Amino acid sequence: MKAIEETSKSDLLHRLSDLEAEVRYQEFAEQPGEEFSYNPGRIPVLLSAPHGTVHTRLDKPKQEDEYTSGFVRLIAELADTHVIFALYRSQTDPNWYPDTPYKQALREVVEREAIRFVLDIHGVAEHRKFGIALGTLHGKSCPKHRKNIVRHLEKFGFSQKADEILRRLDLDRAFTAEGIEGQETITRYIWESLVVPAAQFELHPSLRIVERRPEATEPQPFQGVPELIEVTINAFTSLINELAVSSP
């Protein structure tokens, strides 16, 4: 029994690595419109990973949020949701500028598929003192869901009071999704312009990076914690199911 469990666990991480391996951190797309990709699902929830590749903010390249494109693709597969993710290096930053092609695609999917919730997934640097940071514009972007999301993450061992840094949930402190002067975050855009509830999730590298790829911007090798990556995958997969049935 134990052997079977271990096999299925590593299958999850293999699948995550396979999906991430198709993402081109450093290369620009040959055709315009190919820098991000959309896959449909049956559940009216939309996952987003705008920073899965190197992107461009104020004329400067910003490094990829590794494994976030692979992560949302995997969750979408497991939970049968819609997903939009960065596939090639971007000339812009959809979590900064208004009116980007990525945001236009989000709007189209949200309206056409009557999406009930948008989860925007990002990654933070290793020095951050939390496992997951939930950003909801201090509750404004998903007033009816915020408490349930927190309670749900607690069931999977992520809480504001956790002693272990990687189990710590930061709630609207380090990353509120409000952005700074001149920034329009995806969470803000979805809530304020499309009036659909949304939240931003920032993940620590240990919760998402199976193994740093050779093309990654960060040069030194890195491996996340396999058990924690699995817990994170399971937490988000079942969170989708909860969001799908909750009232909008």
Binding footprint of Zn ion on the chain (CB under 5 A): 51, 65, 122
Please state the closest distance from residue 21 (CB atom) to Zn ion, in A.
Answer: 20
Nearer to Zn ion, 51 or 103 (CB): 51
| Shortest Å, Cβ 137 to Zn ion | 16
DSSP state of 230: H
Q: Are 135 and 172 in contact (CB under 8 A)?
A: yes
Check residue 156 and give left, alpha or beta (phi > 0: left; psi -120 to 50: alpha): alpha
Q: Give the integer Cα–Cα distance in Å for 84 and 224.
A: 24
* Rounded Cα–Cα distance for residues 66 and 51 (Å): 8
Rounded to the nearest whole angstrom, what is the least distance from the CB of residue 155 to Zn ion in the complex? 26
Q: Residue 172, Cα to own-chain centre: how many angstroms?
A: 16
Closest CA to 232 of 194, 212, 205: 205
Among the listed residues 119, 124, 129, the one whose alpha carbon sits nearest the alpha carbon of residue 205? 124
**Which residue lies nearer to Zn ion by CB, 164 or 215?**
215
Percentages helix, strand, coil for the chain (3-state, rounded to 5) are: 35, 20, 45
> Minimum distance from CB of 124 to Zn ion (Å)?
8
Strand partners, 38: 84
Smallest distance from Zn ion to CB 78, Å: 22
CA 43 to chain centre: 17
Nearer to Zn ion, 44 or 70 (CB): 70
Residue 242: its H or E element: helix 226-245
Least Å from the CB of residue 50 to Zn ion = 7
Q: How far apart are CA 52 and CA 119, in angstroms?
A: 14
Q: Judged by CB, which is closer to Zn ion: 44, or 191?
A: 191
- Which of residues 65 and 235 has its CB atom nearest to Zn ion in the complex? 65
Find the shortest distance in angstroms from Cβ 5 to Zn ion: 33
In terms of CB distance, is 43 or 136 closer to Zn ion?
136
| Residue 67 structure tokens | 């494994």
Closer to Zn ion at the Cβ: 51 or 204? Answer: 51
